[in-house]
Every structure is written in structure tokens, then in C-alpha cells.
Structure 1
């Protein structure tokens, strides 16, 4: 477990977020990923319900995360120590991919997602990555807006997400100045 204290300024009030590195199976990380599924799942329910069983099974495989490929998992903790956000880095071919970024509703709009993403970028640079890639869906406009605001640019859909027409993929070049 590694802690990194960060702070963001929101409405002239600094918020002292704490970033904590944890294992994929940390119970708080598992709970935040479940909350993400509960929130995001309904947005795509009709889309996925329209697929035949074979296609649905292939897409489930495409979106599955093998814990063995996860190289870092981080939580963002609010000032009281409550975990309010989650993100991970996955080794995907020669890239590092941002996975499972989620911030609980009670912490949104206060800089928690930016703190998560900044820490993922720091960790990726420390691992020698020249860029980060990510996939999100077309029914997550708030995620797309965040990624674009912090410098991610649209790229062609990359495997394993090519079968899902709603995939939106992004990349960000990482500065080597802070390595």
C-alpha cells in the first residue's frame, strides 16, 4: 500500500485527496467497481440485450479484466479516509490501459477524478510508458468530457473493443520531462 496526498482547488476550497495503491481484490476496490457496474450497466442494458447469445458472450470476453494483467490499482480517499474513487492500469500488448475509472456521486465535481488520472499518469511514466490508452462507451458523456479536458485525444478503436460499436477510445502522450 502506497499513499500519495494530493490536493485540488474547488471553488477556492482545497480538498486534500489521498491516493492509495491497493491490490485488485481489495474489498474497497471491489465495492467501488460494483458501484460502477450498478451505475453504468443500465445505460447499456438495452444495447447488450439486443445481441444474440454468441455475440453477447464474445463481448463479455472482450470486456473482461484478467487481474493478472493489472499492474496498478488506486483508490482516492476523501479527507475522512472514505474511499470515493477507483482506477487501474492494465498491461495491454505494448501499452498501458486505463481501466475502471469511477468516482462516487458524493465526490464528483470536486477534483477526485483528476487526482486519480494524474496519479495513473505518474505511475505510467514511472513504468516507462510513453502514452496511456483507454476505452469508454458512447453512453458515458461525462467520462468522455473528462478525458478530453485533461488532454486525451480520440484514437481508432483498439482490440479487444472493436466488436462493440459504442466504443470510444482515447490516448494521451505522457511527458518524459517528469520521469
Structure 2
């Protein structure tokens, strides 16, 4: 059974998964990796969910404040051998619930066109495509999404 744990960016399981995520993104982002990487520091993440299975961290996700009404979903990752089993959906649901309980109304996120599985995952979880925001406005590879939490 999957166990979900609220934690922060100091969690070693989270840190290890983020290293694997960064290695994956380095290959898919190519020349743009350094640009994206600068916005993915985990030391600013105080709201982290990890998923554990048989005492092993198998998935993670986090959020940080985007504005007074919204959070930005960050650092979503599931080990390849655990994909397709609902782990990421459970993590995302818990992140949404946690942010909603803190009074936030919306979740924003950015992913890349080359992360085809991620794009499908967010659409499946009712995230709607929006114009690119902030640092992603002029990034051709970026796709931005939003979900209203009260719907």
C-alpha cells in the first residue's frame, strides 16, 4: 500500500528523487536545461508530499506560493517502475487538498512539451492549458496549466 507523507525539502527521500528527476530533465530539456533548472531550487519548498511503498520513497511532489490565491506545483516525479499505478495522482490530489486547506484557490504549473506523459497526466487530472506565465512566457518548450480548486 502507498503511504503519503507531508514533509519539506529536507527529506532525504525527496532529495534523492529530485536528483533522478533532474537527471531525466537534463536529457529532455537539452540546451534549455540550465534555464529551467534555475527555477527548481528545492530549498524554497516547505510543502512536500512523498509517496512510500515498502519503506522506499517512490514518488514526490511539492508546491510553493504563486500569489496570495494560488500555488505552483513543483518537482512532481515518480520512479519509472511505479508509473501507471496512480502514485502521481495520489500525490497531486494531496498537494491540491493541502493547498486548498491553507486557503489557496488555484494551482498553476509548468511542464515541457517534450514531457508527453506529464502533459497527459495533468490534462487527465483536470488541469487546463493557459498562456505561459512569468519566466516561461517566451519559452517555446513550456506549457502552462491551471486548476481551480473549488470546482
TM, length-normalised to structure 2: 0.90
What is the CA–CA distance in structure 2 between the aligned matches of 1:74 and 1:159, rounded to whole Å?
25
Q: Tell me by how many angstroms 1:93 deviates.
A: 2.8
When residues 164 and 170 of structure 1 are mapped into structure 2, their CA distance, relative to the original with a 3 A threshold, is same
Aligned residue pairs total 150
Contact 2:9/2:46 (<8 A) preserved: no
Partner residue in 1 for 2:43: 67
Gapped runs of 5+ residues in structure 1?
A: 1-15, 50-55
TM, length-normalised to structure 1: 0.77
What is the CA–CA distance in structure 1 between the aligned matches of 2:137 and 2:42, rounded to whole Å?
18
**Alignment counterpart, residue 48 of structure 1, candidates 22, 27, 32:** 32
What is the CA–CA distance in structure 1 between the aligned matches of 2:141 and 2:105, rounded to whole Å?
27
Q: Which has the larger radius of gyration?
A: 1
Gapped runs of 5+ residues in structure 2?
A: none
Q: How does 1:1-179 map to 2 (within 5 A)?
A: 16-45=1-30, 47-48=31-32, 59=35, 63-65=39-41, 67-68=43-44, 70-78=45-53, 80-94=54-68, 95-175=70-150
Contact 2:77/2:88 (<8 A) preserved: yes
Q: Runs of 4 or more off by more than 3 Å in structure 1?
A: none
How large is the Cα RMSD of the aligned pairs?
1.8
CA deviation map 1:64-94 (0-9, x unaligned):
43633x240110111x121100100111233
